[in-house]
């Protein structure tokens, strides 16, 4: 019975590949085998999840509206990073018949601090909002609220230190 099931699956894969080859499709894949990217195309709101093996996509030029990057660690934990505006090189995607379009993005990530205009609260205390921007290796931007599994990772802690490493202030970032 098991041989019959394996034969049926193999036949279905061959048939699907032959069907795809006869249509005007190409393949889209990510370069990192531990990563998957869920793309949402503008206009159609069509979503496609791309992995390292590749998925067939009809040929054409696509405008990517948003995406999520999912990376599985060696320990099996799934991290999800959401796009937050700048799509970098992924703003448009061209798929050609019979060819493979590769997506190379995601980690390593660059964290850049952002200091906003200071203000004084009602008690006279000086408030200096500090945030950070997260960028992937191709210039794409991500929202700071990463997910580990189904949970959003707690906002990071920070310390401000002087030249002698004396802690001048410390706190916790807030999302939003």
Residue 1 lies in a domain: no
- Report d(CA 23, CA 46) in Å as an integer: 19
Q: Which residues pair with 92 in a beta bridge?
A: 63
Residue 88 lies in a domain: yes
Joined tokens for residue 86: 């700048």
Residue with tokens 């509206």: 65
* Domain count along the chain: 1
Residue closest to 41 by CA, chosen among 88, 93, 81:
93
**Residue-by-residue pLDDT tens, the chain, 176 positions:** 444 333 333 333 444 444 445 479 999 999 988 889 998 888 877 889 999 999 999 999 988 888 889 988 888 888 998 886 777 777 888 999 999 999 888 888 898 888 888 889 899 988 888 778 888 888 888 887 788 888 888 877 888 888 999 999 888 877 66
pTM: 0.67
Residue 65 lies in a domain: yes
Cα 77 versus chain centre, distance? 15
Joined tokens for residue 84: 């937050």
The reported pLDDT for the residue numbered 97 is: 95
Which structural domain, as residue segments, surrounds residue 79?
Answer: 25-172
Backbone Cα Rg of the chain: 22
């Amino acid at each position: 019975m098991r041989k019959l099931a394996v034969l049926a699956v193999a036949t279905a894969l061959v048939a699907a590949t032959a069907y795809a080859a006869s249509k005007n499709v190409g393949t889209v894949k990510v370069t990192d085998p531990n990563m998957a990217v869920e793309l949402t195309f503008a206009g159609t709101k069509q979503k496609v999840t791309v992995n390292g093996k590749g998925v067939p996509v009809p040929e054409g030029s696509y405008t990517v509206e948003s995406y999520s990057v999912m990376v599985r660690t060696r320990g099996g934990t799934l991290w999800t990073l959401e796009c937050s505006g700048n799509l970098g090189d992924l703003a448009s995607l061209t798929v050609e018949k019979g060819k493979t379009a590769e997506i190379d993005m995601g980690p390593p990530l660059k964290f850049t601090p952002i200091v906003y205009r200071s203000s004084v609260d009602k008690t006279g205390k000086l408030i200096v909002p500090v945030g950070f921007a997260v960028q992937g290796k191709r210039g794409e931007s991500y929202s700071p609220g990463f997910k580990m599994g189904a949970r959003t990772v707690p906002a990071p802690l920070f310390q401000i230190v002087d030249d002698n490493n004396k802690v001048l202030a410390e706190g916790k970032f807030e999302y939003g």
